Structures are given as C-alpha cells and as structure tokens.
Amino acid sequence: MNNFELYNPVNYIFGKDQIQKLSELIPANAKVLLAYGVGSIFKNGVHNQVTNALNKHQVIEFGGIEPNPHFETLMKAVQIIREQKIDFILAVGGGSVIDGVKFISAAVHFEGDEADILRKRILFKEGANVVPFGTVLTLPATGSEMNSGAVVTIAATQEKLTLGGSALFPKFSIVDPTVITSLPKRQLQNGVVDAFTHVMEQYLTYPHDAMLQDRFAESILKTLIEIGPSVVENPSDYKLASNFVWCATMALNGLIQKGVPSDWATHMIGHELTALYNIDHARTLAIIGPNLYKVMFETKKEKLAQYGHRVWNLSGNVEDVANDAIDKTINFFNIMGMKTRISENAENIEKTADFIVNRFEERGWKAMGEKQNITLEKVREIVEMSY
Ligand code: NZQ
Ligand code: ZN
C-alpha cells in the first residue's frame, strides 16, 4: 500500500430535518452570503428552510450560479464579499454551487488575476487565505460536499479548470436525502453515473495490495448498481435516497483514494466535452470512460477482470471477463439513461479530437493516467472512438 495522509475536517451532517441546525453551525455574529443556483431551491422549499434557520443571522443572497459554474459569474460574488465585508459563505445547491463557492472563498483574498487560480492551479492550504464556508447539498453526485476540490469554467475561453487545496474543505455539510425528491430524472441519472465513475477513476487501475480500499470501492459500485435504476424512478423512497446520497459522498471524499494509484483521465477528457458542447458532466464520463478502458485495455485488463469477477459476478479468463466487464458497464450506463457517443449528445463534432489534443499540448499535459501512459495519441484514439 502506498503511504498516505488522511485529512478530512468536514462536519458531515446527514439525515432528515437537519437544515435547522444551520443556526448553530454558522457563528452567530457572522455576516453570511447565501449562494445558490438558478432557482431550484425556491421550488422545493429548501430556500425557505435555510432562511428560516438563519432568521437571526445577517444574510445577503447571491443567486444565479449556473451549472458548470462560470468564473465570470463567481467574480460578481467575490466583489460583493469584498465590498460588504462578509465573513461566511453558505452554498445551497449541487456540485456547481458548492464548487462555485470554493472558488469564491479562494478568490476573495487572492492578490493578482483571479483567473490564475484556475490557470496556474494554485493550491490553497492556509485557512487564513480563504473565506470559511458550509454547504447544504441538494444533488448527490460530485462529493464536493466532503472534498476540497472544485471545477470552474472560464466562459470567455471555454476552459473548464480545477482548483483546490486543504483549506477548501467545507466547515460543514448538511446532507438531507429527502431533497432529492425534486430532482429531475436526468439529474438523478447523472448523479449515479458521476459517483460510479469517481469510484472507477480510483479503482480501475492495476492490481495492488490495498485490499480494503478495493473492497470499499467495490461495495460502492455494487450499491450503485443495485439502487441506481430504482432511485431514479422513486427518489422519495428514503432507503434508496439515503444510500444513494451516502454512496455519492463516499465515492469522492478522499477515503477510497488513500494508498492506491488513481487515473482521472476520463474526467480530464470529459471536462473538455463539457467546455466545448455543454454536455452534462456525468454524460461526458459515460461517453469517455468505457472507451478509455478499451484503449488502455492492456494496462487495465487485470483490474477490469477483478471488477468483472467481484462486481458483476462474471467468470472466465482474464481477457474475456475484462471485455465483458466493459460491456456490463456500458449496459449499466444505458440503463441509467446515458447516450454513450459524443454524436448523440452534440453536433458538428468532427474536430473534437484535434481540439482536445491541442489544448492538452498547450497546457503541457503530455501524459495522464495511473501509469502516465495515456499519451496524447491515446487521448486522440479514445476521443475518436467516442464519436
Ligand atoms: O441551479 P439550480 O436551480 O439549483 O438547479 C440545479 C441544476 O440545474 C439542479 N438541482 C440541484 N439540486 C436540485 C436541482 N433541481 C431540483 N431539485 C434539487 N434538489 O440540477 C442542475 C444541475 O446541478 P449541478 O450542481 O450542476 O450538478 P452536479 O451536482 O452534478 O454538479 C456538476 C458540477 O460539479 C463538477 C462538475 O464538473 C460540474 O461542474 N464536479 C465537481 C467535483 C468536485 N468538486 O469534487 C467532482 C466532479 O467530478 C465534477 O467534476
Ligand atoms: Zn465527476
């Protein structure tokens, strides 16, 4: 097992009727920026619950954080915080709002061009350099509620870039599984597939000796396979909802990644598809993931076979089980409503591979993946296979 440090300071508050605890979680004298998306929290009652809980706090609202949050939008919030001397941010929403708030938190005290936070991948490690924030999660998918990473789009240049650092963990996250009842089917499907792929990025590499991590990963995958199709049809079933939400958090709160190699190339390529064509994040993963497993078959076949045996109960020789496991994955994504080709999700896609390879080249990304052997030629092959 590789050496690791496990640091996760998030106060994770799970279950029904937890939003009322907000008043105790945010310092009483704090001036709060309540940040949210494009309106779902008004329709499903979450805004009411939050503002009722904060009726003794001084609250300023900032709405309009779009899916795949834009740097340009977030900078408006940064300005408000600087002008109004706000000391705490509350993110109420899905991954986009939470990620947006992580960026806002980092940008407020940043000296220089705030776009450099993204372009130069500056790490935020000092609590004093960021504005503290908490979250109320409304969409299980990204794990952003319990990790310190974020993804932000610079709309002007169509770049979707990451930021993070140990100072960017939420102080707390309130995770009430009943909030998923108002999610559109498409977003529920996205949540299952995003969480599933997070596990795959950290699991589907090569055999190693972190036995417990493998079992953690496999149990999350098996649970998502078991509940995914039914939670989409019946999100008000609390048993399904609560297990789904916990799987999504566990998939990307850092735990399963400890001591093991990880890949993340599916996400890196997928982000470009969102930046180019505005395809939902999870849907880009369903397109790229299986083709990446095919192109990197020689590197990944042993772990694919383990995944096939343990997660899909397949038997046979390594190559056959590995191939069947990829087919099972595609089939699962299809059941979850994913269309696994770029052309089914966007138009005029002929230059996609050129564009992505050029971009990676410009950024100096020569190779990626757990063995750093997903070269730009491989990236091209994966993208072209995905047309
Ligand atoms: O904006 P509102 O009105 O809130 O509507 C949202 C949005 O339209 C809606 N929604 C959220 N909760 C709802 C709801 N509608 C009804 N009822 C509810 N309870 O759902 C839509 C999508 O929301 P969004 O936050 O964009 O989705 P998601 O949580 O999937 O987040 C995606 C973003 O997270 C990034 C992605 O790249 C993408 O930008 N990721 C963040 C990660 C992280 N921080 O660790 C890791 C992930 O791999 C991912 O990259
Ligand atoms: Zn993801």
82-92 confidence digits (pLDDT tens):
999 999 999 99
Relative to the alpha carbon of 179, which ligand is closest? Answer: 1
Ligand 1 centre and the CA of 95: distance in Å? 4
User: SS3 for 214-230, per residue?
Assistant: HHHHHHHHHHHHHHHHH
pLDDT tens by residue, 47-97 = 999 999 999 999 999 999 999 999 999 999 999 999 999 999 999 999 999
Quote the pLDDT of residue 243.
98
Compute the distance between CA of residue 291 and CA of residue 227 in angstroms, rounded to an integer.
25
Rg for the chain (alpha carbons), in Å? Answer: 20
- Does the beta carbon of 182 sit less than 6 angstroms from any atom of ligand 1? yes
The pLDDT of residue 18: 96
For ligand 1, pick from 62, 139, 160, 274 the residue to mutate: most ligand atoms within 8 Å of CB: 139
Pinpoint the residues of the chain covered by CATH 1.20.1090.10: 184-385
Mean pLDDT confidence for 3-17: 97
Tell me what the pLDDT averaged over the chain comes to.
97
Distance from the alpha carbon of residue 142 to the mean position of ligand 2, in angstroms: 6
Work out the pLDDT band at 217, boundaries 50, 70, 90: very high
- Nearest CA to 103 out of 139, 137, 138, 68 is that of 68
Q: What are the start-end ranges of the E strands in 46-128?
A: 58-62, 88-93
Would you say the CB of residue 308 lies under 6 angstroms from ligand 1? Answer: no
Q: What is the mean pLDDT of residues 250-277?
A: 97
Burial 347-361 (b: 16+ CB within 10 A, else e): eebeebbebbbebbe
Average pLDDT of the segment spanning 336-362:
96
Residue 58: predicted pLDDT: 97
Our answer on whether the CB atom of 231 is closer than 6 Å to any ligand 1 atom is no
What pLDDT does residue 381 have? Answer: 98
> Per-residue DSSP letters for 180-209?
GGGS-HHHHHHHHHHHHHHHHHHHSS---S
Rounded-to-integer distance, Cα 330 and Cα 291, Å: 10
Confidence of residue 42 (pLDDT cuts 50, 70, 90): very high
Mean pLDDT of 201-216: 97
How far is residue 195's CA from residue 181's CA, in Å, rounded to a whole number? Answer: 18
Q: How confident is the model at residue 301 (pLDDT cuts 50, 70, 90)?
A: very high
Ramachandran quadrant class, 346 (left: phi over 0; alpha: psi -120 to 50; beta: rest): beta
Q: Binning pLDDT at 50, 70 and 90, where does residue 367 land?
A: very high
**What percent of the chain has a predicted confidence (pLDDT) above 90?**
100
Quote the CATH superfamily of domain 184-385.
Dehydroquinate synthase-like - alpha domain (1.20.1090.10)
Q: Which CATH architecture has domain 11-179?
A: 3-Layer(aba) Sandwich (3.40)
Q: Hunting for tokens 């770029």 — which residue is that? A: 342
| pLDDT, mean of residues 240-257 | 98
Mean pLDDT value of segment 283-287: 98
Q: What is the mean pLDDT of the segment spanning 128-150?
A: 98
- Give the pLDDT band (50/70/90) at residue 24: very high
Give the per-residue pLDDT at 386: 98
Ligand 1 pocket check for 267: Cβ under 6 Å: yes
Q: What are the residue ranges of CATH 3.40.50.1970 in the chain?
A: 11-179
